[in-house]
Amino acid sequence: MPINKKNGIFAKNNNNDMKYIKTCLFSAVAFGLFFNVFEMQAQVIQALPPIIVYKMTRDYSKNVAVTLSADKKTIVSYPARTDVSERSYPTALNKGYWLDNRGISPNTAFLSITYEEYARLKKTPSVEELYGMIIDKNPIKRMYVCGRGSNTVEELNALIKKRFKGCERIK
């Protein structure tokens, strides 16, 4: 940037100086916006649910899933009957794997009641009643976290074919 050699300040009324200042300001704003957008994208990705792919000991895809404590002696999480719908069912993938659509974990157990039957109940059963309905306390053979967000069935089947390369095995 040209400097007035006489007094060491920017020369006044110089169009080149103004263009340079405008370019610098524009570049600084654009640079700041770029990093703001990048940071916002990172926050959105972190806010998305994990992509869970799993294989069960048997086909429990229609059965209500509950979460057990680590010692498997109590239920720590279960859905309200009003929270279950067709979206609660997992999505079938290749080789007997399923995409979780509900929020299961390595401590998931399955009840003898289907989501459809559960939704029709007059009231949500007590924790004790739900515990009595458990048909498998250890139904998960393998479970992987394959990033966050949403992947297509085709993309997930490709991961299965590649033996879950890039995914984290959690069970």
Q: What is the domain partition of the chain in residue ranges?
A: 1-47, 50-169
Per-residue pLDDT of the chain (171 residues), as tens digits, is 455 555 555 555 556 666 766 666 666 655 655 555 445 444 444 568 899 999 999 999 999 999 999 999 999 999 999 888 888 899 999 999 999 998 899 999 999 999 999 999 999 999 999 999 999 999 999 999 999 887 789 999 999 999 999 999 999
pTM for the model: 0.70
Q: Which residues pair with 59 in a beta bridge?
A: none
Give 95-133 as a DSSP string: GGEEE-SS---TTEEEEEEEHHHHHHSSSPPPHHHHHHT
Sheet strands (E) in the chain: 50-56, 63-68, 75-77, 91-92, 97-99, 108-114, 134-136, 140-148, 168-169
CA pair distance 121, 29, nearest whole angstrom: 57
Torsion angle, alpha carbons of 19, 22, 28, 31, to 10: -80
- According to DSSP, residue 90 is labeled P
